[in-house]
Amino acid sequence: MQLQPSFDTWTAGFLIAVAMGFFLVTLLLSNRNKKTVPIALFVLAFSLILLQYVLYWTHYQFKYPFLIHFPSVCYYTTGPLLYWYFLNLYKLEKPKYFALHFLPALVCFIPYVCYLLKNLGLDITYIPFRDLSSYYQLQVIHMVLYTLLLFQLRKRHKNELLEFSSIRNRWAGVLVALYALFIGALVSYYISVNFTFFNAEWDYAISILMTLSIYTIGYFIFREPKVFDGEFYAEIFLPNASTSESLENRLLDELYKKITTHMVQNKPYFSNELRLSNLADQLGFSTHLLSKVINQKFGDNFNNFVNQYRIEAAEILLREDPSASIKTIYFDVGFNSKAAFYSAFKKKHACTPLQYRQALKRS
């Protein structure tokens, strides 16, 4: 007898989590940063897995059977997608045959398509690789191998001394740990399901752990610039009680002068990927020291400090090159988006760049 499809509090909550996953995918894709594309697909894959779980728990999979057998495809994509992100993170070229990493997912996709067409009414008698999705052990082994691969990739860059590299390795370690937590939760399900104590609540608890680990990865990637701007690992600066205030101020003045001289002479702000850690490496400072000097002497945060130089450069281009498009200008001076450029420009001039250019023509 087929059970009547229905939702309860738990399954309704998981359906909301699926919607949140799709929303997170939209956020990751909307920033137009190609480096985050693999993580957007990574989160999308898990959201589809979770959606099939919800359909299974609520018995709606009999009414909407389109995702049955699809989770195995998604599981086989998680490792390659995270590996793809790590290659971007460490600025490494993708191997020539990188697409082969998705071969297991493609093989699992074949029976899924056959089952899908069969559910849609087509007369299909032979389904290749039909039992492959049931071998969860292969899925777990596949993901564990990618965890080891990511760990080795991180280990190869562990001894790099630059501040940026140090933060990047800590960041990579967090991502590997979260992925390992996801795999551990999945393994615990396959072990626990064989015992009599296992019930729906155990299933939900394990799924919550898996959801938190994957969505945390997605959220962290969305906030990635904060990591490399030193805000994610920020520590509180406390003045040394044995140092007089005047001596500290003189030292800060000297350091700030070094920073501003570097900004004027070398113009690092033209780089669209400039982060606090990058500038710290260029100056030979720690990120914490650089952040402290900028906050105390400039009176604002790192982003606004850099943006003042970008806005000044944009003003010159608006005056000297009337034919240049606004998009060309904001990108050339180091901004990644029109919204960020307009916000910083209006903060200084109380008008848009276009209005500023028009005012120049009238004067």
d(CA 135, CA 158): 36
For residue 112, the model assigns a pLDDT of 86
Residues 95-102, mean pLDDT to the nearest whole number: 92
Q: Is the dihedral of CA 149, 153, 159, 161 positive or negative?
A: negative
The overall average pLDDT reported for the chain is: 84
Residues 322-332, mean pLDDT to the nearest whole number: 87
pLDDT tens-place string over residues 69-81: 888 999 999 999 9
Type of residue numbered 358: Q
Cβ neighbourhood burial of 140 (10 Å; 0-12, 13-18, 19+):
middle
Residues 302-331, mean pLDDT to the nearest whole number: 90
- The fold of 245-362 is Arc Repressor Mutant, subunit A (1.10.10)
Task: With cut-offs at 50, 70 and 90, classify the pLDDT of residue 333.
Answer: very high
Q: Which residue has the higher pLDDT, 62 or 180?
A: 180
Range with lowest mean pLDDT among 61-65, 163-167, 178-182, 301-305: 163-167
Give whole-number Cα distances, 116 to 63, 121, 123, 184, in Å: 13, 9, 11, 30
For residue 105, the model assigns a pLDDT of 94
- Cβ neighbours of residue 80 under 8 Å, at least 6 residues apart? 101, 102, 105, 146
Residues 98-103, mean pLDDT to the nearest whole number: 94
pLDDT tens-place string over residues 13-59: 989 999 999 998 998 888 666 788 898 899 999 999 999 999 888 88
Q: Which residue has the higher pLDDT, 192 or 133?
A: 192
For residue 180, the model assigns a pLDDT of 93
Task: With cut-offs at 50, 70 and 90, classify the pLDDT of residue 124.
Answer: confident
Type of residue numbered 348: K
d(CA 223, CA 239): 29
For residue 266, the model assigns a pLDDT of 92
Residues 182-206, mean pLDDT to the nearest whole number: 86
Report which of 46, 68, 77 is spatially closest to residue 113, judged by C-alpha positions. Answer: 68
Give whole-number Cα distances, 2 to 50, 51, 63, 68, 200, in Å: 22, 20, 11, 16, 18
Q: Which residue has the higher pLDDT, 315 or 245?
A: 315
Range 9-222 classified under CATH 1.20.1070: yes
pLDDT tens-place string over residues 256-268: 888 999 999 999 9
For residue 247, the model assigns a pLDDT of 58
Quick check: 91 pLDDT over 50?
yes
For residue 361, the model assigns a pLDDT of 79
For residue 62, the model assigns a pLDDT of 81
Residues 184-188, mean pLDDT to the nearest whole number: 90
Question: φ, ψ for residue 7 (rounded to 5)?
Answer: -110, 150
Task: With cut-offs at 50, 70 and 90, classify the pLDDT of residue 9.
Answer: confident
For residue 120, the model assigns a pLDDT of 77
pLDDT tens-place string over residues 225-257: 555 544 444 433 334 444 455 656 777 888 888
What's the N-to-C CA distance of the chain in angstroms? Answer: 82
> Where, residue-wise, is CATH 1.20.1070 in the chain?
9-222
Q: Which residue has the higher pLDDT, 139 or 243?
A: 139
For residue 311, the model assigns a pLDDT of 93
Task: With cut-offs at 50, 70 and 90, classify the pLDDT of residue 291.
Answer: confident
For residue 230, the model assigns a pLDDT of 46
Are the C-beta atoms of residues 60 and 16 closer than 8 Å to each other?
no
Task: With cut-offs at 50, 70 and 90, classify the pLDDT of residue 92.
Answer: confident
Residues 274-289, mean pLDDT to the nearest whole number: 84
Q: How many CB atoms lie within 10 A of CB 262?
A: 14
Residues 164-185, mean pLDDT to the nearest whole number: 86
Are the C-beta atoms of residues 237 and 288 closer than 8 Å to each other?
yes
> Where, residue-wise, is CATH 1.10.10.60 in the chain?
245-362
For residue 231, the model assigns a pLDDT of 47
Residues 8-15, mean pLDDT to the nearest whole number: 88
For residue 75, the model assigns a pLDDT of 94
Residues 284-304, mean pLDDT to the nearest whole number: 86
